[in-house]
Amino acid sequence: MTIQAMTAQEVTMKVFNKEELFIVDVRNESDFKDWKIEGENFEHINTPYFELLDGVEEMIKEIPTHKEVLVVCAKEGSSVMVAEMLSDYGVDVFYLKGGMKAWSEHIEPVKVGDLDDGGEMYQFVRVGKGCLSYMVVSDGEAAVIDATRMTDIYLDFAISKGAKITNVFDTHLHADHISGGRTIAEKTGAAYWLPPKDATEVTFDYSPLEDGHDVVIGNTTISIAALYSPGHTIGSTSFVVGNKFLLSGDILFIDSIGRPDLAGMAEDWVGDLRETLYERYRQLSEELIVLPAHFMIIDELNEDGSVSERLGTLFTNNHGLRIENETEFRHLVTENLPPQPHAFQEIREVNMGKISPDLEQQREMEIGPNRCAVR
């Protein structure tokens, strides 16, 4: 039987559509435990490639005959070899084109809603990394928020919508992934906005995001007023778009809240985090749809693959918003932190403009899951 390639986009569609898939992951056990392809109806076995050099006969009995089978490795090569070995035993098998590196980089645009003045909001789901970025399109103009380093997806999407990117925002200085914001701004001539309290060490010019400043995109106003929202970083800033959507950055997620320690300031910033979540956000309309910069688990995806929830629902269901005792909140936030993101200090330095690693180095920096939330 012949083996076939399955692309990261095809796997993403299986995640969105809750299809079944049986994944044979041939990476090392530690890499598999740290980060794998997840889907509601996905099954996995993990057998490192080097254990299969003498053959796959023992593995055959574990592989179902009624499901699609996908072999996965880091870069592709090992999965092709194992897929060929399985095919020799009559298994109809796929390998992941580009391996986990391609999975980490794939981004899928999803429309999340219309704005009252005719504008549209799109979410860009980087399902393998858990990163979420956004584009507001209105009257021939576009704004991009929290872009990843894979900038072509945003540039091409704007062209497809007949829109010119005029403004680019980062809600904060990212530590888990390399921002594409500055690159998009340079390629389009757009203004690049950063919170000034997060930009004290950047090496490039930017437009300062400050309270009381509104930015108009076509017919849509992105309101910055009163939404300085520190806690994840000291400069974290949230946006209300069209009085309908709350872009919460890494402050508030669907099933968790932001971590305050990625600049080594957990004890100092936990109070800011609480004030943002329990005071500033409480002053907002509960009807706003929260659009975070990350998701943590696959269960947070909606039926269409998007990630969003009404703010009032999160006040009821998100455990991080229901801890009235401040001491208990401090303990939760400072004592339940997951491991810090891989190479997060170097990623911060890239986003400050201090270092300029090549593409392969950037890929290595970002490998693994996002870890921006308190558990």
Q: In the predicted model, what is the mean pLDDT of residues 228-248?
A: 82
Confidence of residue 202 (pLDDT cuts 50, 70, 90): very high
Residue 224 pLDDT greater than 70, yes or no: no
Give the C-alpha distances (Å, rounded to integers) separating 350 from 128, 260, 332: 21, 20, 30
Characterize the bridge pairing of strands 220-223 and 214-217: antiparallel
Interatomic CA distance for residues 182 and 196, integer angstroms: 15
Contact 137, 120 (CB under 8 A): yes
The structure's pTM equals: 0.93
Q: In the predicted model, what is the mean pLDDT of residues 178-185?
A: 96
Confidence of residue 266 (pLDDT cuts 50, 70, 90): low
Amino acid residing at 295: F
Confidence of residue 225 (pLDDT cuts 50, 70, 90): very low
- Token pair listed for 197: 């309290």
- Ranges of each domain in the chain: 4-102, 107-366
- Token pair listed for 48: 């490192």
Q: In the predicted model, what is the mean pLDDT of residues 165-182?
A: 93
**CATH fold for the domain made of 107-366:** Metallo-beta-lactamase; Chain A (3.60.15)
**CATH fold for the domain made of 4-102:** Oxidized Rhodanese; domain 1 (3.40.250)
Q: What percent of the chain has pLDDT over 70?
A: 91
Q: Is 244 helix (H, G, I), strand (E, B) or coil?
A: coil
Confidence of residue 96 (pLDDT cuts 50, 70, 90): very high
Interatomic CA distance for residues 26 and 162, integer angstroms: 43
Interatomic CA distance for residues 319 and 194, integer angstroms: 30
Give catalytic residue positions.
73
